[in-house]
Amino acid sequence: MSAPQERVLVLSVDRDGDLQRKTGIRSPVVGRDAVMSAATSLAVADPEEADANALFAAVKEYDQLRAQGVQCDVGAVCGLEESGFQADRKIRAEVETLLSKQQYSGIVLISDGAEDELVIPILQTLKPIVSVRRVVVKHSRSVEENYMVLGRYLRMLVFEPRYSKWAIGVPGIILLFAGVLVLAGEATLATFAVLIIVGGAFLVRGFNIDRFVAGMLSQKPFGYVRLFTIPTSILILIVGISSGYSNMTSQAPDLIAEVGGSPSHFFQYGGVLVGYYLQGSLLLVWAAIGVYLAGALLAQLLRGSRRAWRSVTGIVVLALLFFPMDQFSSYLVTGGTNSSALLLIYVFIGLAMVFSVVGTLYPRLRGRPPVPTTATPGPSLSPDAPPHAQDEDQDAPEEHQE
């Protein structure tokens, strides 16, 4: 007695449900005549619809297999317009209905693109897929795949907060401000507002300022100290730079005019201009750096970091360096041997004091035993140990490697 001949199901899958939505034909569709009628109705309803060509291709594949003596049936199933979980569940239910009508050994899948082929894993849980035929209609095979990738990125830009705040939020703020200013009759101001917002967004994202601020805030309470001192030091620095320029223009307007009229005169008067600039900006610039270092020192002391000595050394060096820099600016403006001699005295005194501070602090700190930053086998810390002993500064190991 011969074994029964295998029977396959030629299946066309319309994952986004165009057939049912555009023609009103309910799926599943079974049989050559029914599939041919559905394909014709869809082609008439939308001549540019690729799913109609997939239905015609399913009928053609069915005819060719029958001509080769293969026992087969042809059918079509549809999903839903949103193409998600509900669509795939509907397709699975309809395929199970078709497979229950006969004893099929496999499925021949007819697809019009990459999206319909996403159901292959679903179909493979029901019956083996013995063949897949993709129908490409008058365009590159990768066009639909590119559209799918582009669509995923667009959805990601719209719905994921990580990207939507930059792709939609910032343009929304720009359009809102510009619209309000235009309505108020301030079209020129709207242009400046757009430039400021766009430049600010680029600055924040380009230098990871948002992540830097978030990282500081996550390190309470010393993160708030840094959050205050860093912007404050930046503001003081900007004021210092502006003050230096103002002092230079008020003290030497004639020299600025000379250099502006003939840039080659800068080699003659440039030293004096730089001296006036330093005299006007030095105190504020040094104050800005001092605020930054003081904030770093306070934050390191709050978390028990061993790098606090570096900030202390920086503050001492900054204070000692002020006097040579101040004398240097006076030398550039007035010249003379007295200024140069006093400058050298300040430099040597500063070097001596810096060497004294570093020579006193560094050996003591270097001799301290390192604190492990990760848990290691061994006896636990004493209950009387300070709470920060287990969470020492992450940079501490570097100090013992120097």
Per the CB < 8 A criterion, the answer to whether 40 and 56 are in contact is no
pLDDT of residue 33: 92
pLDDT of residue 263: 78
pLDDT of residue 104: 86
14 beta partners: 78
Q: How far is CA 274 from CA 236, 239, 288, 357, 380, in A?
A: 20, 17, 20, 31, 60
pLDDT of residue 319: 84
Quick check: helix, strand or coil at residue 68?
coil
Count of Cβ atoms closer than 10 Å to residue 263 Cβ: 10
- DSSP string of 295-315? HHHHHHHHTT-TTHHHHHHHH
Residue with tokens 């004294």: 356
| Radius of gyration for the chain, computed over Cα atoms and rounded to the nearest angstrom | 38
Q: Is the pTM of this model over 0.75?
A: no
pLDDT of residue 266: 79
Q: Are strands 129-134 and 106-111 parallel, antiparallel or unpaired?
A: parallel
Per the CB < 8 A criterion, the answer to whether 119 and 21 are in contact is no
Distance, CA of 303 to CA of 221 (rounded, Å):
9
Per the CB < 8 A criterion, the answer to whether 276 and 209 are in contact is no
- DSSP string of 102-159? S--SEEEEEESSTTGGGGHHHHHTTS-EEEEEE---SS-TTHHHHHHHHHHHHHHHHH
The tens place of each residue's pLDDT in the chain, 402 residues long, gives 445 568 899 998 888 888 888 888 888 889 999 999 999 998 898 887 778 888 899 999 999 999 998 889 999 998 887 777 888 888 899 989 888 888 888 899 888 766 667 888 888 888 888 888 877 665 545 565 676 677 777 877 777 777 777 788 878 888 888 888 888 888 788 788 788 888 887 887 788 777 777 776 666 666 777 778 888 899 999 999 999 888 888 888 888 888 777 777 777 778 888 888 888 888 999 999 999 888 888 888 877 777 777 788 788 888 888 888 888 888 788 766 556 666 677 677 767 776 776 666 666 555 555 444 444 444 444 444 444 433 444 444 343 333
